[in-house]
């Protein structure tokens, strides 16, 4: 894929991820536990890891996090989202080659890393480690949401695997 097409694809993926993030931010909470979301934008991130590569995924992720904080949040939204995204991206990149056929497993690890990164940011921001009492609940949510977004990503990857017109 030439550079122009790659940049255009990255922009489209960042826009889709941002749209999913904003739509999900407007949805009512899934549980009475605050902060638990499906993480629909992570479908785009996982797809990008496998389809676009790590550098492009990092750019897509940063654009989504920065614009998401501007459009649907504030500075603390950026802080939590950025820390969670960095942890998730790191774990996803380290483990991606092991879970090519089971993206849902990779996504669960990524979701757990995202939640851990957010709690680390919260502990620094609030200057307390007591926020980590929340971790078991977030890890349960990470298994559910990570499996769902991973299965969605696996479906997309399987659908385009044999298509020759995509990405050329």
The CATH number of whichever domain residue 58 belongs to comes to: 1.10.1760.20
In a domain, 168, yes or no: no
Mean pLDDT score across all residues of the chain: 92
Is it the case that residue 127 has pLDDT exceeding 80?
yes
In a domain, 72, yes or no: yes
In a domain, 135, yes or no: yes
* Spatial separation of the C-alpha atoms in residues 81 and 78, rounded to whole Å: 5
What pLDDT is attached to residue 30? 86
pLDDT band at 35 (very low <50, low <70, confident <90, very high): confident
Span 39-51, mean pLDDT?
Answer: 95
* Per-position DSSP letters for 45-63, written without gaps between them: HHHHHHHT-HHHHHHHHHH
> What is the extent of the structural domain holding 142?
3-29+36-158
| pLDDT digits 0-9 by tens, 10-29 | 999 999 999 999 999 899 98
In a domain, 167, yes or no: no
In a domain, 46, yes or no: yes
In a domain, 153, yes or no: yes
Q: What are the tokens at 27? A: 């949805």
What pLDDT is attached to residue 54? 95
Domains identified in the chain, total number: 1
In a domain, 166, yes or no: no
| pLDDT digits 0-9 by tens, 74-125 | 788 899 999 999 999 999 999 999 998 899 999 999 999 999 999 999 999 9
């Amino acid at each position: 894929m030439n550079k122009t097409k790659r940049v255009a694809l990255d922009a489209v993926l960042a826009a889709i991820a941002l749209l999913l993030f904003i739509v999900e931010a407007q949805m009512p909470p899934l549980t009475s536990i605050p902060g638990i979301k499906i993480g629909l934008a992570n479908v785009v991130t996982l797809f990008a890891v496998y389809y676009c590569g790590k550098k492009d995924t990092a750019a897509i992720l940063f654009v989504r996090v920065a614009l998401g904080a501007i459009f649907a949040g504030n500075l603390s939204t950026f802080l939590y989202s950025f820390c969670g995204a960095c942890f998730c991206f790191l774990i996803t990149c380290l483990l991606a080659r092991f879970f090519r056929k089971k993206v849902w497993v990779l996504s669960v690890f990524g979701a757990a890393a995202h939640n851990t990164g957010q709690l680390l940011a919260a502990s620094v921001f609030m200057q307390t480690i007591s926020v980590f009492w929340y971790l078991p609940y977030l890890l349960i949510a990470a298994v559910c949401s990570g499996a769902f977004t991973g299965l969605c990503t696996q479906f997309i990857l399987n659908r385009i695997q044999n298509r020759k017109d995509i990405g050329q």
